[in-house]
Amino acid sequence: MLLAYEGSTFRGFAENVGVRTVGGVLREALETILGHEVVIVVAGRTDAGVHAWGQVISFDARAGRLHPEAMRNGLNSMLAPSIAIRRVEIAEPSFHARFSAITRTYRFKILNSRTPDPFLAGRAWFVRDDLDLATLTAASQLFVGTHDFTAFCRRPKDRPDATMVRRVDSVGWELEEHPEGRLLTFEISASAFCHQMVRAVVGATVEVGLGKCAVADLTEALRGTDRALDGKLGSPGGLTLWEVGY
C-alpha cells in the first residue's frame, strides 16, 4: 500500500498507547474493512509532526478479503483528509515494506524569509536570517557516500551497539521564490536512515549556511562518534518521506 499523510495531528507513525498515530488509525481502519486483525510493516517510521507522500506499508490479508480498489476507496472515505491511500496492490508473498526497500528519499522545506507564512506553518521550517544557497550546497555534499552518522543520529535505547554507518546516495537543494522570501527544498536519498538523521543533517547544514559554524566542523563531526551537533535539528514539520524505492 502506498499512502500519504499530513503529520501535524499525529504523534508519529508507530502505534503508541494513548496517543493518535498514523499506524494506529490505519490499522483500525484496515481491520474494520478486512474483518480480522492486521499487523502493519512500514517502510520508514516517521516521528511526530513529520509528513509522508510516498510511505509504503505491507500486511497480510485473508484470501478473498482483499479487493484493492474497493479497499482504497473505503479507506479514503474513512481516513480523509489527513491520510490518503494512493495505491493498493497484491504483492508477492516475499515482499516486506521495510526489508525489501533499497532506497528512501526525504524532502525538507525551509521558508527563508523575514516574515513567517501561516499557510506554511507545520510544513516548512521558518528561518529568518539569510541563508547562502551556495554554502548550503557545498556543505550538504559532504554527506554523500558512506559515513558514520553517530554525530547526526539518536542511538536507539534498546540497541546501544547498533551501527550508525549509512550510505547517502545523493543530496540537493532547490529554490523557489516566495512572496516574502525564498522557499528552499532539500532532498536526500540513502539506502537507510537512522533516527533524526535528516533533521540533524539539515540543522547542521543550516548552521553553516548562517555562518555559525564552518564546513570543516561538519567534516570533523563525520569523523567522530560524539553527537557534537546535538540540539541543532530542523523542525519536524519541514520533513516529508517522499519516496521509497524497491
Nearest one of 233, 237, 227 to 205, comparing CA atoms: 233
130 is catalytic: no
Angstrom distances, CA of residue 69 to CA of 37, 45, 58, 63, 85: 20, 25, 16, 16, 10
Catalytic: which of 47, 117, 130, 169? 47
Four-CA torsion 133, 117, 197, 86, nearest 10 degrees: -110
The cell numbers describing 150, all together, are: 553517530
Q: What are phi and psi of 199, to 5 degrees?
A: -65, -35
Tell me how far apart the alpha carbons of residues 75 and 43 are, in angstroms, rounded to a whole number. Answer: 19
Tell me how far apart the alpha carbons of residues 63 and 169 are, in angstroms, rounded to a whole number. Answer: 39
Q: Mind telling me the catalytic residues?
A: 47
